[in-house]
Structure 1
């Protein structure tokens, strides 16, 4: 990939649902090693665009590229193997497995193994050190033996991030990582995203504008399925179209 080339790029990306155009001829470039946020008022098309870029929706027209490779026709599992791994808005951990076991499942999946309770501990133990290190990286060392169902909502999201990191993503794709969190968990999760994002590219949809302002290098603002502004938080918050889209809210 040429130096300074985008790691993810969309060209004239469009998605229609019947007669409704949710995303309309969007061009977007995600620079490697940055945290890039998609924002916009309700109904702006940001979730649809995110689903297109992560291949959970197919475009009506347009193309998506990863490191210069056209991935428009690829399935989500295939792009995950390329290094684009998505973390979901709703926590997707196994509730009746421990935090350690959840991460070990992800590590086995990375090795293209099926998680098997009947495998010997000796066979599975080779994942233990890496699982412990991943739990430590997200601040869950003290919860390694706890069932996922026993964790607080914020800690479940941290566990989900650990399982995502187990797949060794080059690009982290985060769908509303702060959704449903209290103030304390939001601060902790923002710090976690900043920490694990070092050396990676992060693309996220996020409604919490304080988090977006704090974390993001670049922000793309959508309205009615079209990009109306892009740049730093200072740049987009000063844009008159953005302020109008958010109904003149002083905190934009």
Structure 2
């Protein structure tokens, strides 16, 4: 169970009774979630559990049918996606969202332009945009892509594309990062570098992660929330969750599931 001494101020992000229905179907129903500031918190569950829908509700890509989203003590339920991003609540997507035919440096620079209010100023001199290059290079160094700065994103391995996406997310200066399936589709050789990268960028930040790879979850996450059929099934540490019979049944229907 969550520490009973925790107060509302200890949480960077909360969902209170969060629901999303499409007609009579509830993709997410009455979900309560508390993400403690400065931690890596996982949201897991079998396919169709409502994890990505929950992410979309938290970052305002979708409007909830009911419930509240609280960010840093502020009710952001009525805000738009761009507004919550400017407050520091930023997400990545399961499918890589980089520009394939821009270089790594250019991809990060585009994200920095948005964060510095330079977006869509096509009449600005190139020198104004290039002033962002030193920070872009710093971010590429942070994710291990310094040597790939002038490669097009399409030339990168899958794992390095995910690293580039994390760099563009960091360019938005997030306080809370929501990472949707950051290791999806990766080969074994990419898992450890991306896992370590997530651990590194979590310093001074809060991360909520949707992840199917439970070995990644167990090595990174302090708390785990489990969804099933859009509803909260249980929450706890990895040991608590992995030994929960309801979780085992939800995943595989047997005692050897996790």
Normalised by the shorter chain, which TM-score bucket? over 0.9
> 1:16–1:23: 8 Å Cα contact kept in structure 2?
yes
- When normalised by structure 2's length, the TM-score is 0.92
Of residues 197, 200, 209, the one that matches 1:204 is 209
CA contact (8 A) 1:22 1:48 kept: yes
Residue 3 of structure 2: aligned partner: none
Residue 79 of structure 1: how far off its partner (Å): 0.3
Instruction: Find the aligned partners of 1:43 and 1:32 in 2 and give their Cα distance.
Output: 28
- Is 2:162 the counterpart of 1:157? yes
Aligned to 1:225: 230
Shift of 1:4: 4.7
Q: Identify the residue that residue 9 of structure 1 maps to in structure 2.
A: 14
Q: Indicate the residue corresponding to 1:137 in structure 2.
A: 142
**Distance in structure 2 (CA, Å) of the matches to 1:22 and 1:48:** 7
Partner Cα distance (1:198, 1:218) in 2: 16
Structure 2 segments unaligned to the other structure (5+ residues): 1-6
Q: Determine whether 1:112 maps to 2:117.
A: yes
Change (3 A) 1:114 1:142: same
Q: Distance in 1 between matches of 2:214 and 2:59?
A: 22
Residue in structure 2 matched with residue 250 of structure 1 by the alignment: 256
Shift of 1:86: 0.8
- Secondary structure in structure 1 of the residue aligned to 2:203: coil
1:165-186 alpha-carbon deviations (Å, 9 max, x no partner):
0111001111111111111112
* 1:1-252 superposed matches below 5 A: 4-114=9-119, 119-246=124-251, 247-248=253-254, 250-252=256-258
d(CA) in 2 for partners of 1:81, 1:88: 18
The separation in 2 between residues aligned to 1:129 and 1:51, in whole angstroms, is 32
CA contact (8 A) 2:8 2:73 kept: no
Q: SS state of the match for residue 173, structure 1?
A: strand
Which deviates the most, 192-201 or 240-249?
240-249
CA distance in 2 between partners of 1:207 and 1:186 (Å):
12
How many residues align structurally? 251
Q: Provide, for residues 18-39 of structure 1, a one-character-per-residue CA deviation record: whole Å limited to 9, x for no partner.
A: 1111211111111000101111
Whole-Å separation in 2 of the counterparts to 1:138 and 1:182: 18
C-alpha separation in 2, matches of 1:47 and 1:192? 22
Q: Deviations over 1:187-220 (max 9, x none)?
A: 1111100000111000111111111111111100
Q: Secondary structure at the match of 1:58?
A: coil
